[in-house]
Structure 1
Amino acid sequence: MGIGSKSTGLIAAAISFISFGTSGAFVKPLLDAGWSPTAAVTARALTAGLVLLPFVVVSLRGKWDLLLRARWPVLGMGLVGVAITQVFYFAAIQRIPVATALLVEFLAPIILVGFTWAVTRRTPAPVVLFGSALAVGGLVLVIGPGAIQAVDPIGLALAFGAAIGCSVYFVIAARPNEGLPPVALAGTGLLLAAPVLALVGATGLLPFTATFDDLPLLGTTTAWWVPLLVVAVIGTALAYASGITASGILGSRLASFIALLEVVSASLFAWLLLGQRLSPWQLVGGLLILAGIASVRAERQRPEPVAAPPVGVFCS
């Protein structure tokens, strides 16, 4: 890899984690204005999917049969990675701070370690156990009694639901992708999630409400579609596209480590836009969680499949 291409990859990775970090802080005003999580995820997925659609068409080069052959990763991306997980995440940030919800969701790899250990009865490598212990210790500091004065238990449960959903998506995404380009996986998954969630909302299984009045943002009043476009275009379409680019240049491992900075980005946006701050103990806990996840990821020896999430959680 040349210096120029690596620099391009690092820039793309930075754009990705900064872009992903905007989603929680910019969707919160919509949720506070009366949007239900289901409606917000539907609008986000539909808008971002339409933005990515031209790139999907170009990447497929007429090989539409790839979508059928890779139906399981596409279904996993759409139904689990987007629909289920993001609804849980958006519902969580209605009740608990954005950074707290994201840190809990980032525990998805640790959940997979525990699940694999329980099913296979094989003790993980020492570095994985060490990383898992760090992450659990960090979680105690993030959500413990001395960290946040009043953790909403429902919000915390929803964040854990998002983490479990993300774990399931990682398992599904690890299946062979039959040559489906990553941008096609992202775009079609988003476009699949939108009508499914709209149908769920229409049946009344989940609340589906949206308001179209002006709402407060950055100390002023703005139209409802402004934060929606930021979340959909920047926090989703641009984030996915730049993340995929970074993964292709840097490799999935290095890109995934850099993507851990999404928590930092999300925390900064939540502080600047929403006034949400982590306490000193929560900051220490967040660092322990990220260090633990990094240790678990560092243990992986085999390359990840192309269909696996290139960077970040991709479920936030």
Structure 2
Amino acid sequence: MGSRLTFESPAGPTETLSTRRYPQPPSAGDPSAARGPSVGPASLRLGLGYGFALAAAASFGIGGVIAKAAFNALAPSTLAEFRVFFAFFIFLGLFLAFRRDELRIRRSDLPIFALFGIVGLAGVSLVYYEAIRRIPVGVALVIEYTGPLLLLAYARLRGRTVGGRLWIAAALAVVGCFFAAGAYDAGLRQLNGLGLALAAADAFFFALYFALAERLGTRYTTPALLVWGFGFALLGWSIVRAPWTLPWTTTPADVYVQIAEVVVIATLIPFALTLAAVRLIPAARVGLTATFEPVVAAVAAWVVLSERLEPPQILGGIVVLVAIATAQSLRPTAGSV
């Protein structure tokens, strides 16, 4: 991938090493050309954006149930590194074969991609796993999903208009997650300061992931975000633990099947859909829609794992759906979220 970095030519226009071998497409070097698929009407873009975001949240939720079964054989952090490793090489091979020209990036954007991959992709899962080692999963999820509120606050600080209904929708989503994730059933004695601090940091990383995805999405297409993002995520994980030290030879074949399911259902599909959604609708709205994940996870666990689905969880799921519908009812305008 290093041969695809860009350099500023003396004449001014951006030149890439790859343009010396391949013709440069019309959109290369034009940030505006990368902003979302060529979808005409605003209503269609909005519908596709929310559709992608909801599908991604559902995929993450179902994938979480599969991952929970894999935790019987693998530590959560080990599974997370496996999924990043396989996702990177699958995305790299796929897009080198079919979308090679879209993988060119400017050298000046490498630090942003590094932050996006290491903190936004690898950091979110690593800090989350450290948090749930210390506090209940439901509590960690609720704190993480305050991320959309942080995104709205960030947008407001940057001078963008944030409709009142979006603030209401984000607050409803957090309340709905509180019940859908079963956080109401977590005793206060199970909480500790470090776990809460890690969950709060995870909410920040969650918001940063979406904010950086939105920023990079104005300049680059989804394949570039996926390949470079997961490349840096793998680099981040490698700092924590080198990939060759993973239990490659001691992992049973049936566990590799579960890893493959997690890679496809909880990684390849949802991340591709999420990044496509961010290029169609504002990041804050995608982050808010992501709160649908614990709702799907609770229902999937009820169906697949025969876990109990309590009335408060059902009520919480309904509140989350109301929150998403409220956000969708407010159409974004120029300069707004």
TM-score relative to the length of structure 2: 0.65
Could you say what the CA RMSD is over the residues aligned between the two structures, in angstroms?
A: 4.5
In structure 2, the partner of 1:313 is none
User: CA contact under 8 A between 1:142 and 1:148: conserved in structure 2?
Assistant: no
Q: What secondary structure, in the 3-state scheme, does the structure 1 residue paired with 2:215 have?
A: coil
The 5-angstrom pairing of residues 95-110 of structure 1 reads 101-110=140-149
In structure 2, the partner of 1:22 is 62
Label 1:185 to 1:123 Cα distance change in 2 as closer, same or farther (>3 A).
closer
> Greater shift after overlay, 176-185 or 222-231?
176-185
Label 1:131 to 1:234 Cα distance change in 2 as closer, same or farther (>3 A).
closer
- Partners in 1 of 2:233 and 2:158 — Cα distance? 32
Who wins on radius of gyration, i.e. which is larger?
A: 2
- Partners in 2 of 1:64 and 1:126 — Cα distance? 38
- Partners in 2 of 1:265 and 1:142 — Cα distance? 9
In structure 1, the partner of 2:263 is 232
User: CA contact under 8 A between 2:58 and 2:296: conserved in structure 1?
Assistant: yes
Quote how far apart the aligned CAs of 1:177 are.
4.7
2:239 to 191, 199, 217: 199
Q: What secondary structure, in the 3-state scheme, does the structure 2 residue paired with 1:66 have?
A: coil
- Partners in 1 of 2:179 and 2:269 — Cα distance? 33
- Partners in 2 of 1:134 and 1:11 — Cα distance? 20
Quote how far apart the aligned CAs of 1:286 are.
4.1
- Partners in 2 of 1:134 and 1:110 — Cα distance? 11
The 5-angstrom pairing of residues 152-301 of structure 1 reads 152-153=190-191, 158-177=198-217, 179-201=219-241, 212-214=250-252, 223-243=254-274, 251-252=280-281, 256=286, 261-292=292-323, 295=326, 299=330, 301=332
- Partners in 1 of 2:275 and 2:240 — Cα distance? 30
User: CA contact under 8 A between 1:78 and 1:188: conserved in structure 2?
Assistant: yes
Quote how far apart the aligned CAs of 1:293 are.
5.6
Match of 2:318, as an amino acid?
L
| 1:83-103 deviation per Cα after TM superposition (whole angstroms, max 9, x unaligned) | 110113344556777666545
Quote how far apart the aligned CAs of 1:231 are.
1.0
The structure showing larger relative contact order (alpha-carbon pairs under 8 Å, at least 6 residues apart) is 1
Quote how far apart the aligned CAs of 1:24 are.
1.7
Quote how far apart the aligned CAs of 1:132 are.
4.2
Match of 2:281, as an amino acid?
S
- Partners in 2 of 1:297 and 1:72 — Cα distance? 33
Label 1:262 to 1:180 Cα distance change in 2 as closer, same or farther (>3 A).
same
Label 1:171 to 1:92 Cα distance change in 2 as closer, same or farther (>3 A).
same
| 1:218-247 deviation per Cα after TM superposition (whole angstroms, max 9, x unaligned) | xxxx72212211111222112333555677
Match of 2:314, as an amino acid?
L
Quote how far apart the aligned CAs of 1:278 are.
4.4
> Greater shift after overlay, 92-101 or 14-23?
92-101
User: CA contact under 8 A between 1:80 and 1:165: conserved in structure 2?
Assistant: yes
Label 1:141 to 1:273 Cα distance change in 2 as closer, same or farther (>3 A).
closer
User: CA contact under 8 A between 2:56 and 2:273: conserved in structure 1?
Assistant: yes
Unaligned runs of 5+ in 2: 1-38
Label 1:177 to 1:264 Cα distance change in 2 as closer, same or farther (>3 A).
closer
- Partners in 2 of 1:168 and 1:129 — Cα distance? 18
Provide the aligned length of Structure 1 versus Structure 2. 287
Quote how far apart the aligned CAs of 1:259 are.
5.6
User: CA contact under 8 A between 2:103 and 2:223: conserved in structure 1?
Assistant: no
In structure 2, the partner of 1:148 is 185
User: CA contact under 8 A between 2:65 and 2:301: conserved in structure 1?
Assistant: yes
Label 1:51 to 1:226 Cα distance change in 2 as closer, same or farther (>3 A).
same
User: CA contact under 8 A between 2:99 and 2:223: conserved in structure 1?
Assistant: no
> Greater shift after overlay, 283-292 or 21-30?
283-292
